[in-house]
Structure 1
Amino acid sequence: MAKVTGFLEYERVKDTYQPAEARLRHYREFVNPLQEQDAKQQAARCMDCGIPFCNNGCPVNNIIPDFNDLVYQQDWKSAIDVLHSTNNFPEFTGRICPAPCEAACTLNFNSEAVGIKSIERTIIDRAWQEGWVRPQPPEVRTGRRVAVVGSGPSGLAAAQQLARAGHDVTVFEKNERVGGLLRYGIPDFKMEKHHIDRRVEQMTQEGVTFRTGVLVGDLPTGIKVTSHHQETISAEQLRAEFDAVLLAGGAEHPRDLPVPGRELDGVHFAMEFLPQQNRANHGWNGDGQILATGKNVIVIGGGDTGSDCMGTSHRQGARSVTQFELMPMPPESEYKPLSWPYWPYRLRTSSSHEEGGERQFAVATREFVGENGKLTGIRTVKVQWEGGKMTEVEGSEELLPADLVLLAMGFMSPLGSVLETFGIEKDGRGNARASTDDETGYATNVPGVFAAGDMRRGQSLVVWAIREGRQAAREVDRFLMGQTLLPR
């Protein structure tokens, strides 16, 4: 235990941000990292509970009390070893994970949780600074070949684990650079992309081969996507050339809003808008870019993607930004005796919300309004929920000016025909049907083909993707070798 009385003596040390007026002028990260002394004090608050609920709250089951104690002891080298034992990429989760571990922290029951996420980020940032994060190539090669389709967090985690087990791993990515939705879906101001690049360099030295601009299957018609592929490869080719295939692509099929006026110029999916800005930040000339500059922007959807659209619109110089959510406004704080240690239902205000704009709850869209094919407004109505049913509030119709509408209502399933081209059975939501049971872990109905991450479980968190990638790698290794030493 870090310090027996630490949770009584110290208050939570919260992250601080660069002021909004300064950070809106750029697309870089703006969270001020903890100083090491602050991290030590934060770690001292860990109670080292008899039942560490934080471990189970964390999808990758980080050994949180252990690395907290090591940070308190200032043994940073051992702390990163403990952290890496469960999480391949703590610099990703330390920046963009919503921290379900903190919701499960015992101290959170009647106080403020230990700042686990900020401690995790401090550990990995110190490890990179000290040169402790090095390639770990295998001592023995198995000669077995594995194809990983998708280079997001799930695919990267699986590829690294399989390469370290001695297999020859090739990662296929349809876009021009590695990272999947981690690179093209998450704004740079939340996570700069050099964090991905240095992991790719590490994995290359560990023996992973990356093939970008390669599409497996076909893209759907009628949905604009961000793929910049130059080559298409079939399921037959992959199965012929590799001993096992792991499908680890993202859930990119967006929910649409089929109301009158949907076809108007100015109504776009969030994932048409966000990747363009990320590309522009890294050298794209911006030809045909969807911009919020000088426009009245309406974001439909109250989740993380909607928040990212708000932050990006602010930086592009929108005239106004309004976010609509169909559900009623959640309570500002949860009733902890009822919710703890689970993820609570409450109002969440992101840094992008703090930068400006307006949020409206219990609002439904009736119609997009336009002139000469261009969007000019949006017609809405207030709704109320009773007994799980939605009804419109009479007399609450409103017409709001809008030059740009961004649809950020979540994602349903993988995009394109990758599952069909392999002949993989789907579940009721359109994802790959693959169990996580020990007997058939992550295996699909097609022999030698596995699925993990969003492609198997649907839209989820980066930390869940890393967990599934690691666990799927273990099952692929078992399939290839008859046994496995990779951790689950």
Structure 2
Amino acid sequence: MGKATGFIEYERKTAPGRNPAERTKDWKEYTTKLPEKELQIQGARCMDCGTPFCHTGQMIGGTVSGCPLYNLIPEWNDLVYRGHWKEALDRLIKTNNFPEFTGRVCPAPCEGSCTVAINDPAVAIKSIEKAIIDKGFEEGWIAPNPPKRRTGKRVAVVGSGPAGLAAADQLNKAGHLVTVFERDDRIGGLLMYGIPSMKLEKETVERRVNLLKEEGIEFVVNTTIGKDITKEQLKEEYDAVILAAGAQTHRDIAIEGREAEGIHLAMDYLTRSIKGLLNKSNEGVISAEGKNVIVIGGGDTGADCVATAIRQGAKSVVQFGKHEAQPMARKGNNPWPQYPNVFELDYAYAEAAAVYGDDPREYLIATTKFVADEHGKLKELHTVRMEKTYLEDGSYTMEEIEGSEQIWPVELVCVAIGFSGTDMPLASHMGVDTTARNTVVAKYGKYNTNEEGIFAAGDMRRGQSLVVWAIHEGREAAREADRFMMGETKLP
């Protein structure tokens, strides 16, 4: 695959980002493209490793190793190297319904388990993937391809995020009549309202949704199951139902002063910002303009809040994390092919450094209380530094450092500490069993719930996870729903 000595001869290059200080003045995607010739060179770095781990898609040490979609990565790397772009596209879409999404927002566990990455920088798999699908659209190779025959079976998909869209796409390909229900005003779920435009422009999402419509999928927005349509109606009108409504129950922070005005859940903040941009209106937008902003939570959602606040004109932005900074290189307890837990300067942090002069992250810090002014508006936040001690069994303890208390002026706080499970009113209405983690009980690989004909997939089943896992589960749930309706299945 690729050039036998390519990984020795060529250095890794990825698509560069636009100038951090300049790109904060707009909401367009921050990445750029590599020249086609350079992409072919990067494809040449894919070594003939014999046993490629990049597409294994397994959980090791609590994190994903390789691609959960089992993308045929060495094959399309080799085809790009040889200039066979159309053939590379054919191999890419064989396993991945939406490479234009994963090529933009996936953290690329495939690169973490790349064999070259044992000693050298990994093959630039993500950049090549994005280039293949973008070229496919540019060249007109991707066009509506509705099924040639219909089975007469009807399927309802609840939720239009990556899991729901993948399930709908697969079932439509099998010839079933598919209707996707979305409670929001636009299709896309997390892809539309959870990921900011500078990472995933909404025209990219709408382009795919329009393609799915042309292939025969029906989309119904502003519809809440249990309110606008009932479980009984779904079971009467459809032969199978797939629940793919995501993990939408946010974790909140329960400390003194939480009721102060100016404290918001991160996803609410991001969603309102995106809706404001799409609607070309500031109505309902939570603005950071001229404010000191603190983001509580060190993950990707927190980083997106940082980038959004910068574009809104925040006076300052700081992000709190409860853990220490990641090491510059893999530690002994994080060996290849596990996902590499190493320090990275994500797009948002590069932007903050360019605008404010420093990386906005504060580590090993805990918020102890919020303080409001006489009008109930947030004015300050109190913190204490923490010391983390690892125990012999791998667990750890956290203790406050005496005398490390600090007061931060702040007018806007975004709480980005994750999600605690799925939409329980929906699960309750549908009569499906749930776990202590508020996820729907449905065995991995089977996806069937305790209710006959009702399946669950994506974050609703597995909990908060990656877009690539959502697509994986949507595809597999579609396969099992097809088997349930037809007695057999040809879906992968």
Question: Which amino acid in 1 is paired with 2:295?
Answer: V
Q: 2:265 aligns with which of 269, 273, 297?
A: 269
Q: Distance in 2 between matches of 1:2 and 1:327?
A: 40
What is the match of residue 307 of structure 1? 303
User: Residue 124 in 1 paired to residue 120 in 2?
Assistant: no
**Aligned residues with identical type, % of pairs:** 50
Q: Distance in 2 between matches of 1:336 and 1:202?
A: 46
Q: 1:147 aligns with which of 144, 156, 160?
A: 156
Q: Distance in 1 between matches of 2:285 and 2:207?
A: 28
Whether contact under 8 Å (1:328, 1:384) holds in the other structure is no
Whether contact under 8 Å (1:171, 1:210) holds in the other structure is yes
Deviation at 1:282, TM superposition (A): 1.1
Whether contact under 8 Å (1:109, 1:337) holds in the other structure is no
Q: 1:453 aligns with which of 433, 453, 458?
A: 458
Deviation at 1:246, TM superposition (A): 0.1
Q: Give unpaired runs (5+ residues) of structure 1.
A: 219-231
Whether contact under 8 Å (1:10, 1:41) holds in the other structure is yes
Deviation at 1:415, TM superposition (A): 2.4
- Indicate the SS of the match to 1:214: coil
Question: Which amino acid in 2 is paired with 1:22?
Answer: E
Deviates more, 1:335-344 or 1:382-391: 335-344
Question: Which amino acid in 2 is paired with 1:160?
Answer: D
- 1:320-339 alignment, distance < 5 Å: 320-335=316-331, 338-339=334-335
Q: 1:347 aligns with which of 343, 347, 357?
A: 343
Q: Give unpaired runs (5+ residues) of structure 2.
A: 57-65, 353-358
What is the match of residue 356 of structure 2? none
Q: 1:213 aligns with which of 217, 222, 230?
A: 222
Question: Which amino acid in 2 is paired with 1:335?
Answer: K
Deviates more, 1:134-143 or 1:400-409: 134-143
Aligned residues: 471
Q: 2:388 aligns with which of 368, 385, 408?
A: 385
Question: Which amino acid in 2 is paired with 1:195?
Answer: T
- 1:190-205 alignment, distance < 5 Å: 190-205=199-214
- 1:57-96 alignment, distance < 5 Å: 57-96=66-105
Per-residue CA distance 1:88-107 (angstroms, 9 max, x = gap)? 00000000100000000000
Q: Distance in 1 between matches of 2:161 and 2:35?
A: 30
Question: Which amino acid in 2 is paired with 1:366?
Answer: T
User: Residue 18 in 1 paired to residue 21 in 2?
Assistant: no
What is the match of residue 33 of structure 2? 33
Question: Which amino acid in 2 is paired with 1:407?
Answer: V
Structure 1 ranges of 4+ moved more than 4 A: none
- Indicate the SS of the match to 2:55: helix
Q: 1:424 aligns with which of 429, 432, 447?
A: 432
Q: Distance in 2 between matches of 1:19 and 1:285?
A: 27
RMSD: 1.2
Q: Distance in 1 between matches of 2:254 and 2:210?
A: 43
- Indicate the SS of the match to 1:7: helix
- Indicate the SS of the match to 1:280: helix
User: Residue 45 in 1 paired to residue 53 in 2?
Assistant: no
Q: Distance in 1 between matches of 2:413 and 2:444?
A: 39
Q: What is the TM-score normalised by the length of structure 1?
A: 0.95
Whether contact under 8 Å (1:149, 1:173) holds in the other structure is yes
What is the match of residue 473 of structure 1? 478
Q: 2:370 aligns with which of 345, 348, 368?
A: 368
Whether contact under 8 Å (2:424, 2:438) holds in the other structure is no
Whether contact under 8 Å (1:248, 1:453) holds in the other structure is yes
Q: Distance in 2 between matches of 1:217 and 1:258?
A: 30
Q: Distance in 2 between matches of 1:447 and 1:124?
A: 38
Deviation at 1:288, TM superposition (A): 3.3
